[in-house]
Structure 1
């Protein structure tokens, strides 16, 4: 079982066999990213913790989760609960989606992955430990992944401070990761097919290939047939779109614009504004006679990250930016400066919302010492730490 020790520094101890991961997501893409995470990182058994029964039902029936999934929450009767748990333990279901209350008291061995669909409310450490403690038992290794948004930053920091562990930062799986992992699972399943069963279907397979080619010389149609089988068996019914690491939008690619060298002209502003980014991209693809489709732009000193429609992005990567002072590249993780700016924007939004509440603006900014932390799980880089990191409540 899970043991929690309170030591002198009042950090809550967690099993060393569990790897703790934090994954930054856009709320609108959370469900799709969950499907990809379970495909790429899920083993034989994965548990997904959600805060509400409604979310549990939605995810359990979601077409974006490609493996068989069962659900456990307070509205499931005892018979249904026993069926779900028996199926999960036996391997009939790879995934179990559960609420915290419904999952308490159950004992499921050999769970490879735990996904926390959101950060526990107000960074509740007991909830985090209960969830992550469902994996890494009996000396086995396990992985706990928590989804968070920029708005959850302080809650995530509270969890880290309490457990004395810095969470690793991961990015959502990319297209290549998803396709490779999906194909690998199908191949493993096919290799376990009993030989007598394979022989029974050989005549039908032969008839199918002859119908596609009109002869016994199958060639390329065999590859296409195998490809189609891999796609369908992996749970895909339509082409998989490339997704931006910045906004998680389908068919968009996140590109980073960065200054060549570190100097630049004296007196020239280091800040690359969104308007300047838009102008640079448009000039660079002016020969296409179409306005490029751009998405979110995050600007910072000496660079920017911009979402560009996939076809246009590939042209920019091949031909470069028309302004020779800048270079462009595709990114698989967000630069720290971009994360800084995203959190600054979120904090500004919260500050604006708090203007109408008594003390709202002042209290919110005071919690971070008037500044925004560098990144969700990095240090404070010399800025004044928030009061709670020194053992006192900022809003006391």
Structure 2
């Protein structure tokens, strides 16, 4: 069945007419988010396309499941029409270098007879994907299909719950992603952040920044978000049962969207110690040293530390690898830190979202 649930909105007290209690900056962020976030209509079209693909693929892989993963479903999607799909054909790990390629080639030859498929291309990466383009009316949607990359289903499920935990999470991410794109630092090909890394940075800030807005879901709900849960049973429509968390509700609720955006820029411009700390939403805190590597190894062997973690370390919440491994150029990294500092100074000074968005890409 379709996953995904209604997205939370601000408390009605904030939106009540005639006088909105939202300050101008917060209102601009909220409006901007509503303008760019994925519409329900787009989601329905994607789900329909997923069903069509599954109908074509299932005769070849009868016991498989085809899952929407990534931003189309995790609550952080904008209205661009890329959709990531994961075909699960076994609950064991699949060797991505060889076996996954065989599977994707088999799918390629199956889909080439389908009228609705326009073109396909196999892309060999760490996780190989089949990129599929479609005939009208789906000609505006591109699908990237992987085979058995189950961690994608786990983190889609986890991020879904973070994105709906508090109404401020998604608008904050929308604006951060767009600012980063315009700054030229949301592009893994140019050795900067992927959207996924930026989402993890926002969640970490909301767990560990001056105002705690988000709990650590993996710690609070170990049986829901553990590595051991069979991905085929994950279902994002089930509400979380109440558990005690250490969030000061009154403090959290008083903090505006605008304050959170300024705080986010401040945190990564001035607060966060990149040389010492790793970002880990799995541990819900700043972690000294490198996740998964004993401290003494990384200190005694800085080359090892640099080869794996380089400038900035953002831990993938299920595999413990570094999602920001593409940032390895010190000069690009310096330019990124400078971008955060300048954006923070500017926004704190004039509270003008449009000015923040009218920015020049970084030069490294």
Please report the TM-score for the alignment, with normalisation by the length of structure 2: 0.25
Higher relative contact order (CA 8 A, sep 6+): 2
Please report the TM-score for the alignment, with normalisation by the length of structure 1: 0.24
1 or 2, which has the higher strand percentage?
1
Report which of the two structures shows the higher radius of gyration computed on alpha carbons.
1
